Amino acid sequence: AQKITQTQPGMFVQEKEAVTLDCTYDTSDPSYGLFWYKQPSSGEMIFLIYQGSYDQQNATEGRYSLNFQKARKSANLVISASQLGDSAMYFCAMRERGAGSYQLTFGKGTKLSVIP
């Protein structure tokens, strides 16, 4: 089974609107971390936001927030007030602490296009 599932290959959003990018995950480890990265056409992976499995509150970073629903195993990224510069690939990733490795497992990504 895939550990990280991003079901939206592509999304469109109007400039200044909010958009939600979906991510579901699969783990039996009670301790894990969830990450979102942005990859513009230039190719560099940019860290956006992090949510720990024991965090009580949803993470927020500026216009980014993470809608963490632990029971549903979902960690959706919400981008408010979309800007043209938000057009990029977005990847959800997970690190399981009990795995003994520090690697990130990535989803296949969602391509977001912001329309002026």
The verdict on 37 binding other proteins (CB under 8 A) reads yes
The residue ranges of DSSP E strands in the chain, in sequence order, are: 4-5, 10-14, 19-21, 24-25, 32-39, 46-52, 60-61, 64-69, 74-79, 88-96, 105-106, 110-115
Which residue lies nearer to other proteins by CB, 18 or 46? 46
**35 in contact with other proteins (CB under 8 A):** yes
Q: Is the dihedral of CA 76, 80, 104, 99 positive or negative?
A: negative
Of 60, 81, 108, 113, which one interacts with other proteins (CB under 8 A)?
Answer: 108
Our finding on whether 111 is near other proteins (CB under 8 A) is no
Q: Which of the stretches 9-17, 33-41, 63-71, 72-80 binds other proteins when contact is defined by CB under 8 A?
A: 33-41
The one-letter code for the residue type at 1 is: A
Taking CB under 8 A as the criterion, the residue among 65, 109, 110, 114 binding other proteins is 109
